[in-house]
Amino acid sequence: MPSRSEAAVALFLLATPAAAQDVDCAEAVTQVEMTYCAEQAWLRADEALTLAWGLAIEEGRAIQSALPADAPVDVEEDLRAAQRVWIEFRDRACTAESHRAWGGSMMPMLVYACRERLTERRRQDLRRFAEEM
């Protein structure tokens, strides 16, 4: 069951403007516009993460196929487990960061900005895994 603070963040996140609204993020002035733009930046970062995830899974499968058939490891499952834990970490870390503006209108913007930042870092890590292995 989500905590009261997690529920409050969720309610704030639902209050962002619709994607159909025309907002020039280079000129965002109001809190609603800035929150919308932060959300859009996170969504773009999440799309890039999805692409990197696909590359990492492909590389994990290649690593697995190079291992002896009786190797007691499952590279893909390890990647999936790590990603599940990372998502929980990202969400909790960003909720914690948003408490700087507890109850204020910029709280959801802080969540989105944090999610964008951490998602970009994770994308870089997954790309590194896919390329260096």
Are 38 and 106 within 8 A, CB to CB? no
- Structural domain boundaries of the chain? 29-132
Residue 77 is encoded by which pair of tokens?
A: 């499952």
Rounded CA-CA distance 58/49 in Å is 14
Q: Which tens digits make up the pLDDT trace of 64-81?
A: 999 999 999 999 999 999
Residue 2 is encoded by which pair of tokens?
A: 């989500």
pLDDT above 90: percentage of residues in the chain: 82
Q: 3: pLDDT confidence band, cut at 50, 70 and 90?
A: low
Q: 113: pLDDT confidence band, cut at 50, 70 and 90?
A: very high
The answer to whether residue 18 scores a pLDDT higher than 80 is: no
The answer to whether residue 44 scores a pLDDT higher than 50 is: yes
Rounded CA-CA distance 131/133 in Å is 6
Q: Which tens digits make up the pLDDT trace of 72-106?
A: 999 999 999 999 999 999 999 999 999 999 999 99
Fold of 29-132: Substrate Binding Domain Of Dnak; Chain:A; Domain 2 (1.20.1270)
What does the angle CA 56 – CA 62 – CA 67 come to, to the nearest 5 degrees? 125
What's the rounded mean pLDDT across residues 10-39? 77
